[in-house]
Homo-oligomer: A and B are copies of this chain.
Amino acid sequence: MPHHRANADAQLEAALDLLRANHQRVTEPRKAILGILSREHGPFTAEELHKRMKKDTCDLVTIYRSLAVMEESGAVRRCDFGDAAYRYEINTGDHHHHHIVCRSCHEAKTLDMCVADGLERMARQLGYTKVTHLLEVFGVCPQCQENANKQPRPHKN
């Protein structure tokens, strides 16, 4: 996979354009958040984003507020891994996907497919509107299994 950098830049620009299109201001904190989300493999919690920024980029509160507005404009997407902390990833929009999340280190791999369309259809037939779904797979990754005997890979939360 070449052009990692170029691809990240393109994602970042697309996200910033979404902000502009939605009459939201392009500020340093927002550029910082989207920069991380486009360059590093997430998704990340607000806390994790904050730690990844260089010191004094912005307050943690600003990250929460920025993520909220950026989700509304479609620049980012919120993920729920069932562990009491929301995570965010950049919204490429081009395809629907889910994750395999390690129970030990919390690292998430992307699954470029979805099997829940049938369920959504069923929900619509039952008369529901604005139908969406939540689908995540959990397990212990090979890396963590290996480290299990020794030291478990550390993770926040």
Contacts and interface: CB of A to CB of B under 8 A. Distances in A.
Interface residues of A, number: 36
A137 B120 contact: yes
Contacts of A118: 115
Interface in A126-157: 126-142, 145
Given A109-B126, A126-B100, A126-B109, A119 B131 contact: no
A156 B41 CA distance: 36
A126 B127 CA distance: 38
Q: A109, A119, A122: which has the most chain B beta carbons within 10 Å?
A: A119
B135 A135 contact: yes
Contact of A134 (B111, B131, B138): B138
Given A100-B123, A135-B134, A128 B141 contact: yes
A137 B133 contact: yes
B139 A130 contact: yes
A123 B140 CA distance: 10
Contacts of A136: 133-134
A103 to B, nearest CB: 7
Nearest to A115: B115
Given A80-B82, A100-B126, A135 B138 contact: no
A116 interface: yes
A63 interface: no
A139 B119 CA distance: 12
